[in-house]
Structure 1
Amino acid sequence: MAARITELVLDCTDPERLAAFWGEVLGYEILDRDDVSVEIGPKDQRTTLLFLRNPDRKLQKLRLHIDVRATDREQDEELERLLALGATRADIGQGENVSWYTLHDPEGNEFCLLSGRVDP
């Protein structure tokens, strides 16, 4: 028997803001919320993201990050969409000759936009 990941928990200062951002990025909906957290996920709820209020600010590069791929457009078009949603470009030493974009979400958490498409 094995375990499986059911949710990823991200500490943040503003769960509503970050849940709204990631909900738009991933096409997820709000599944649950309370005074200190907001949980989003797909309708089948296989793996969800839980944004948990924490007053501590992020101080260094994350040791775990999220990678995303576009489902219905080219990588450059998806980059423009993510930037319009509030992502910003990030330089973490990845260099110029890579096939992905490194970005920050609205609270500075790193994530990557990979090349190629994936089924929705």
Structure 2
Amino acid sequence: MALRISHLTVDSHDAYAQSHWWSAALGWSEDPEDPNLPGHEECMIFAPDGRQRLLFIEVPEDKTVKNRLHLDLVPTDTSREAEVERLLGLGATQLADHRRPDGGGWVTLADPEGNELCVLRSELDRPDPYAHLVR
């Protein structure tokens, strides 16, 4: 038996606003045949190849504790520092700085609703340790 992850779902107060923030952060887009609209309780965005998806669903509860699951993001065509600054400019908040003098480490941010994410060292600055898994 084998399973594939269909998409990652994120609880949100404003699914539409979250879908737009994450679209700008990741360079992803909505389905043009099923656009996300203000007031939609469910808003999905897609990676450029359509294979990865994030679904934002509105829930009434506030986020009260640290996420049990978060995204680790790797810049593909710019530095970690440039991406952190770009995300802060989009409305992220910096929670912690775990960068090391050797260039390793990460920066922990929160999206506009407080969901944690980490920005790792850029692909330009390190070899991909998982390259052997790509087919």
Say yes or no: TM over 0.5: yes
Hey, what does 1:36 align to over in structure 2? 41
Hey, what does 1:102 align to over in structure 2? 108
Distance (whole Å) between structure 1 residues aligned to residue 65 and residue 99 of structure 2: 22
CA shift at 1:71, angstroms? 1.3
SS in 1 for 2:21: helix
Pick closer, same or farther for the CA change 1:95–1:71 going to 2, 3 Å: closer
SS in 2 for 1:70: coil
Partner letter of residue 16 of structure 1?
Y
Question: Displaced runs of 4+ in structure 1, greater than 6 A?
Answer: none
Structure 2, unaligned runs of 5 or more: 129-135
Hey, what does 1:115 align to over in structure 2? 121
SS in 2 for 1:38: strand
Distance (whole Å) between structure 2 residues aligned to residue 80 and residue 44 of structure 1: 26
Query: What root-mean-square deviation, in Å, do the aligned CA atoms of Structure 1 and Structure 2 show?
Result: 2.1
Percentage of identical aligned residues: 40
* TM-score when normalising by structure 2: 0.78
Structure 1, unaligned runs of 5 or more: none
* TM-score when normalising by structure 1: 0.87
CA shift at 1:95, angstroms? 5.7
Residues 72-108 of structure 1, C-alpha deviations (whole Å, 9 max, x = no match): 11111111101001111014xx767461000000000
Of 61, 68, 74, which aligns to 1:56?
61
Pick closer, same or farther for the CA change 1:27–1:52 going to 2, 3 Å: same
1:84-103 matches, within 5 Å, as: 84-91=89-96, 97=100, 99-103=105-109
Hey, what does 1:66 align to over in structure 2? 71
Report how many aligned residue pairs link the two structures: 117
Distance (whole Å) between structure 2 residues aligned to residue 68 and residue 95 of structure 1: 14
Rg comparison, structure with higher value: 2
Task: Decide which structure has greater strand share.
Answer: 1
SS in 2 for 1:112: strand
**Which protein has greater RCO, CA pairs closer than 8 Å, 6+ apart?**
1
Residues 33-69 of structure 1, C-alpha deviations (whole Å, 9 max, x = no match): 4731110012432120000011111000011100101
CA shift at 1:116, angstroms? 2.2
